[in-house]
Each structure stands twice: as C-alpha cells, then as structure tokens.
Amino acid sequence: MNIKQADRLKALPTQFFSSMVAKVNQSIAAGHDVINLGQGNPDLPTPPHIVESLRTEVLDPVTHKYPPFAGMIELKIAIADWYKREFNVDLDPATEVAILFGGKTGLVELPVCLCNPGDAVLVPDPGYPDYWSGVALAQAEMVMMPLLRENAFLPDYSQIPQDKLDKAKIMFLNYPNNPTSATAPLSFYEDTIEFARKHNIVVASDFAYGAIGFDGEKPVSFLQAEGAKEVGVEFYTLSKTYNMAGWRVGFALGNKDVIAAINLIQDHYYVSLPAFIQRAAITALNAPQDCVHDLAATYQRRRDVFVGGLRDAGWDVLMPKGSFFTWVPVPSGFTSWQFSDTLLEKAHVMVAPGVGFGESGEGYVRVGLLTSEQRLQEAVDRMVKCTL
C-alpha cells in the first residue's frame, strides 16, 4: 500500500530545532559536559501551590468528564480579572477570551481561521518559527518584516511593498521578543493600530513573555493601546509566567470576531483542556503573584551574569529588557551556524543559530538563560576562551 502525505504537510517548514537537539545528543553521547542554552524550555519547576491545586482537582470525578467545548467560564473570568489587574485591560470573558492548548496552537490556528490561499501574512524576521507553520497550512504567502538592531528590532512598516499590503490579512508581532529579547513601547502599538486600520490587517500579538521584564520596566501589552481590540488579538501562555510549559495552557484575547473564529475551529479539533488543568490554571491566576515576580528577578540575575560577563570580555551584546533570551552577535568570519557549531564542538555550549529564525537573524545566535547562574558563568568562560 502506497500512502502519501497530503501536500499541505509537505509544505510545512523544517523544524530546525530537531537538528540542534541531534547535535547536542551526539556531543553528550561522546562524553562531553554540554551546557545547552539553545532551547526555550523553562528549567525551573511549576510553583508548589499550583501543583498542589492540580493534585486536589484531579481527585474530583467531575474533572474526569468532558469539559465545555470552548473552555470553562470560570477560567475565562480568571483570565479577564488577571489582565485587568496586571495591565488594566477590560475583557468580556464570554466573547473576548478563547482557551488554547498552549499559545503555539492558537498562533498556528489563526492563519487557518482567517486566510485563504494566496492571502499574505506579515511575519517578523527573525521570529518564532511556528508562525510559519500556520501560514503554510493556510496556503498563504509569508511576507517577512526585518527586525534590525538600528531600528530597536521593531518592524518598519514603510518598507513593506504595497502589493503585499494589499494581500495581507494578518500581522504577527512578538514583544518581549523571541529571539532578539527586544521590547516595544506603547507608542509602537498605537502606530501599529493605525497601520492595521488603514490596511485592514488583523494584528496578532504574541505576548508569551509578558511577565518577564527587567530593571523595573513592565512589558507593555498590545491590548493596553486604545483601539487594540478593534484590530486584533493577543496570545498569552502560562508556560513562561508560571513555568507551566508542559501543562499547555494558553489563551487568545481581544477582537470578538477573531475569538469566535478560533473557538469555531477548536470545536472541531478539541474538547478543551482537561478540567483539572483548567482549575489549576485558575489557582495560578488568582493566587498571590509573588512567584511570578521572583521568577522575573531570577532571570534578571541570570541576564546580568551572562550578558555582563560577555560585555566585560569586550563582546558587543545589548542588555535584554525582557524575555529569557539573549541575542548575541557572532564574531566576524563566522555564519550563525558556523559559530553555533564551533561553540558546541570546542566549548561544549549549545546556542541557536540566528538564521534559523529568519534571514535577518544571520549574524546572531540566540542564548536561553535557562540554567543556573553558575552554569551561565561557566558558559561565558568557555565561550570567551573558545574565541580568543
């Protein structure tokens, strides 16, 4: 029997992280002590009070049944209340909140919900590679928006060709940014809303790192800008805020029509998250947020050790303002892949080559601050020694 995959699967982009993982595993198998800073998987455990909530809720037989298709209204209320407390954003839990199987799911679903073949999607370059997956599944065209250091890693809308704007249906944004660690001011979102209105483009703000800001500066939510809900939605996840990556709790917030489209497609894919996970997520959102503040402080200390160490050694690295990533320029004479491979082979430090996030990522590597301060200092020492 000759079974062939559908063309839509053949069009999916290659997951470059898989080749990175293979290289790391080969190095470890060869007996090397590898410091893996190449991935974005939080290294710290979920706070105990959230885990204990799950333990309690899973014992309730009611949570063993199918939950409501669109998610529990109690969780949607908790989400809306949390956004009001954290960002002073008003949301209608019934119509402006969609529960997701992790933020990634919603980001991939959105082009399928809103685009027809031949439509265009504006994508940050460099950016989170899974944006590309949804565009491919929708058979849409991907239009890259370069994020350059000289423009504070913000897109320059004036550089997008008019013929591409005429076809554009969605624009993805992501601040604090993966991979560059840049943040965006409220004025940028205000300009974005005006641009989106003019060209009838839905804004999709990926706010996955919204809880991780440094030096006393809280990241700005797209939804804080006046008129944001008229033109778009924001995606949030508990993965980074509460170290709940494996729990797969995310949500989309904002424009009612976009939320309805997401809920519709999910009605056909899922029967929502398990009720015991949704109840534990309510605990995470409603409980005191000390654990969130402590986590941001932990990442700031790690940033100071790693970036401060490289800067002390003369490396031209910008000090991140948010996220748990660092965007490190590669030395002259290297491509980002070559430098990544050199660090793994000679220093036994794994970083992600910037070109894996888009062509404009060439010349950089992404470093995840996802190990202890001691190991980060050791990584600095190895990297500096390797490049002397």
Residue labelled with tokens 């320029």: 329
The contacts of residue 205 (CB under 8 Å, 6+ apart) are 173, 174, 175, 189, 221, 222, 223, 232, 233, 234, 235
At the top level of CATH, which class does the domain 48-286 belong to?
A: alpha beta
Q: What is the pTM of this model?
A: 0.96
CB neighbour list of residue 146: distance below 8 Å, 6 or more residues apart: 125, 155, 156, 159, 360
Q: Which among 128, 131, 155, 154 is positioned nearest to 142, based on CA atoms?
A: 131
Determine the pLDDT at residue 277: 98
CB 330 within 8 A of CB 337: no
> What confidence score (pLDDT) does residue 388 get?
67
First-residue to last-residue Cα distance in the chain: 57
CATH class in words for 7-45+291-386: alpha beta
Task: Please name which of 18, 16, 33, 5 lies closest in space to residue 344, comparing C-alpha atoms.
Answer: 33
**Which one, of 217, 156, 157, 225, lies nearest residue 181 by Cα?**
217
Render pLDDT for 80-105 as a digit per residue (tens, 0 to 9): 999 999 999 999 999 999 999 999 99
One DSSP character per residue, 148-215 reads -GGGTT---GGGS-HHHHHHEEEEEEESS-TTT-----HHHHHHHHHHHHHHT-EEEEE-TTTT-B-T
Q: Where do the domains of the chain lie? A: 7-45+291-386, 48-286
Q: Which two tokens stand for residue 18?
A: 């898989």
User: Which residues of the chain, if any, have pLDDT below 70?
Assistant: 388
Sequence-ordered list of residues with C-beta below 8 angstroms from that of 307, at least 6 positions apart, any chain: 317, 319, 320, 326
Q: In whole angstroms, what is the distance from residue 244 CA to residue 240 CA?
A: 7
